[in-house]
Amino acid sequence: MARRVAAVCWLVSAAWYVVAEAVAAAGMPGYSYATDVISTLGQPAWSPRAGWLNGALLVQAVAFSLGAWLVAGLARTRSAVLLRVCAVGNGIGNVLVATVPTGTGSPWHVVGAGIAIVGGNLTAIAAAFAWSRGRPSCAALAAGVTGLVGLAILLAGVPPSGAWERVSVYAIYAWQVGMGVALLVRPRQR
């Protein structure tokens, strides 16, 4: 039961995020996924559909953390503990990003984005080892590392910033979709 609930949490949240980001972007003429950062879509002063993105981030905060909490209980390893901690960090970061818009002068938006991105990608890396039986999951490891590399390139100031930010964020969603599907289709491991 925990596997299915976690899978549904992750799959629904990822799908909702993609839809919400697209709706918010469609409401901003000239918005570019390559050059504009995601946070622009969540700033009510700039984005007429900011509520869509911010709502999706709040859904992700709960769904990602809940899914990780449920599946980590199935692994019972140190990596599973790390998976839970990082996923909760991702959730806290997403709440900060959704509730403290960029451009307000508060540092909490950037702090939240950092916690969400690092926490989400470290969750994927921890998951790579949580059920590994000595061999980490290459897909989970690749997703987490790709996301962290994307974040490093973004922080280094390499253009286009919107694209690099999306590499760091979409890696999390790609992992959670892959994990969600795997939880639904793979037979239960003993």
The sign of the torsion formed by the CA atoms of 172, 36, 110, 62 equals: negative
pTM metric for this prediction:
0.94
Cα 103 from chain centroid (whole Å): 22
Residue whose structure tokens are 């999706």: 56
130-173 pLDDT per residue, tens: 877 667 789 999 999 999 999 999 999 999 999 999 999 999 99
Listed residue (79, 55, 54) closest to 68, CA to CA? 79
Average pLDDT, the chain: 94
Whether 79 contacts 126, CB under 8 Å: yes
Which pLDDT belongs to residue 136?
74
Q: Return the amino acid letter for 123.
A: T
User: Domain locations in the chain?
Assistant: 1-185
